[in-house]
């Protein structure tokens, strides 16, 4: 069982998150996130992602508590017995995606994505993309609203809304999913090894501009973007045993 001597609480602007922050800091103190042994975000999944990005370089466990709207990545809220809950929490280790995108001005942008990297049309014209996997052209021309690459933990987010597959956390694959594909209309995407490198090339870029987004980083007028999982960064999430993330991912596949 892990022992955390200092706990940092961070909260979204939601009133219930602020109330929880006041209660928890009164009970357990207010360690700075830059020095704490564990960080506890209070809010929803969006705030959890913000927190993970903000403190990526800390490499400390993160134990979210649900005080927002969507709480798939969060544990249930409860102020009592937090240190005991942290001690018996189960870790889940994740690796984000790295996006390297080049825009029409020749500038190269690098960003990390915990959920997904998406390339979507920027204007009224549908996007036209060429997709390479490990240097081989697998989709010479995809027309539609765009496409995305999702991590297992991100497979239940935008990827699921685009009718992509839900991926168990330890499956060792990434989802490549089209967004409202017009041609080829019947293509539903692919499952790729986590080591795969996916490269998107924008076709007819001047007429059909495309935006690339890695979680919160947006790059407009993208000519090409390469996406891969990076093992240089490891994220550790903590979950109550009864709130096991693997089980919740499995349950999502049977919801009707």
* Residues belonging to the active site: 45
Pairwise CA distance, residues 45 & 211, whole Å: 23
Q: Which residues contact 35 (CB under 8 A, 6 or more apart)?
A: 6, 8
Pairwise CA distance, residues 148 & 165, whole Å: 12
Sign of CA dihedral 65, 252, 160, 156: positive
Sign of CA dihedral 7, 75, 249, 186: negative
CA distances from 174 to 67, 84, 108, 185 (A): 29, 35, 24, 21
Pairwise CA distance, residues 82 & 42, whole Å: 13
């Amino acid at each position: 069982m892990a022992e955390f001597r200092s706990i940092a609480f961070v909260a979204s602007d939601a009133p219930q998150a602020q109330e929880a922050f006041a209660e928890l800091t009164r009970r357990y103190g207010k360690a700075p996130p830059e020095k704490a042994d564990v960080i506890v975000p209070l809010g929803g999944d969006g705030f959890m992602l913000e927190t993970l990005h903000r403190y990526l370089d800390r490499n400390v466990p993160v134990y979210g508590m649900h005080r927002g709207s969507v709480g798939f990545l969060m544990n249930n809220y409860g102020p009592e017995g937090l240190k005991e809950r942290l001690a018996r929490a189960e870790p889940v280790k994740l690796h984000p995606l790295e996006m390297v995108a080049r825009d029409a001005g020749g500038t190269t942008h690098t960003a990390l994505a915990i959920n997904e990297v998406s390339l979507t049309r920027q204007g009224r014209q549908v996007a036209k993309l060429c997709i390479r996997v490990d240097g081989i052209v697998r989709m010479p021309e995809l027309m539609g609203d765009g496409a995305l690459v999702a991590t297992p933990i991100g497979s239940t987010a935008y990827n699921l809304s685009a009718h992509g597959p839900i991926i168990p956390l330890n499956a060792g694959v990434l989802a490549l999913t089209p967004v409202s594909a017009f041609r080829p209309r019947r293509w539903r995407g692919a499952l790729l090894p986590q080591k795969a490198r996916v490269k998107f090339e924008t076709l007819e870029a001047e007429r059909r501009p495309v935006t690339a987004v890695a979680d919160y980083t947006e790059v407009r007028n993208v000519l090409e973007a390469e996406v891969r999982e990076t093992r240089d960064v490891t994220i550790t999430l903590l979950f109550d045993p009864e709130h096991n993330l693997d089980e919740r991912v499995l349950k999502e596949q049977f919801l009707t």
